[in-house]
Amino acid sequence: MDTYAETLKKKNGRKTKRKILMIQKSLNKIQFSETVSKSLCLLNFGHTTNASREKIFKIFEAFGRIQSITIIPNMSFSFVTLAEVCDAELAYNSLQGSEINIGFKQHLYLSYVDQDFDPQVLMNDDKKFATPEGLFLKEEFVSPSESCFLMNQIESARQKLIDENTDPLKHRSVFHFGYNFDYSTNDVDRRKPCPLIPEYLLELVKRMKVMNFVRFTPDQITVNIYEPGQGIPSHVDTHSAFEEDLVSLSLGSPVVMEFKHPDGKRCDVLLKERGRTRHSFTCGYT
């Protein structure tokens, strides 16, 4: 039977492998290594997750002299190189899977990179980091008080609908207003009645129309609720059942939304606390 430390090590290992694979799918230039080296990749702390040279320096300064810090534009990972291999190994063993406070709390995952790999080569690959065409991010669309109100209303609605209209999917809980979306067919099920879109959401839609985020009043809204640690794999939202405009309002904790294109382009967007690219890019949350 595994001890708690062994179980935690295995869990951290699985999460690290998943994050490496996600990065490698769009960026095969990064030479990850299982061999101890002076250079570390911060797999989930980068430009889009509010990283700065000062924050990274503060995390690693206790382990030895830092030679370089590289933050890749529009990506959720970064790199740090220490002067000595033993310093990097100590940092890795001390920080892997640990909780850090970067304005919000999150667990940090690390990987060694090949000692001959130069992160600066990624800085010149602009096409991989371009913001997807058609994507627009509006920060602070709702105020803090509006956010609290909306989350309370949504939680109240979930409690009322939990038996009849809430789908306990693997990665999240879901319920709908207007029309039900059937995930087994990836289409709207007009035969299954849903509650009407509430007035407090229609008021947000009116504001979106004034700001030209949408060109019509939607007749279907999906509410996704993610508990800590949950996410959703990359996907293209169904477009046969809906119009072109697609709006997502993020409430509660900050989260990184990943956009990936089959040709290798990738952009990680930080949806900040509170807080549309349609056919070609997939999107997912980590």
pLDDT score at 285? 45
> What does the mean pLDDT of the chain come to?
79
Residue 140's alpha-carbon distances to 144, 147, 272, in angstroms, are 8, 10, 8
**Average pLDDT of the segment spanning 34-48:** 92
The encoded tokens of residue 252 equal 């509660």
Strands (E) located in 36-109: 39-42, 66-71, 78-82, 99-101, 105-107
**Among the ranges given (13-27, 150-164, 257-271), the one the predictor scored with the smallest mean pLDDT:** 257-271
> Pseudo-torsion of CA 173, 177, 183, 187, nearest 10°?
-170
- Structure pTM? 0.54
Residue-wise pLDDT tens digits, 139-178: 788 888 999 999 999 888 887 765 554 555 656 778 888 8
Residue 274 has pLDDT above 60, yes or no: no
Which of the four pLDDT bands, split at 50, 70 and 90, describes residue 93?
very high
Residue 88 has pLDDT above 90, yes or no: yes
pLDDT score at 221? 87
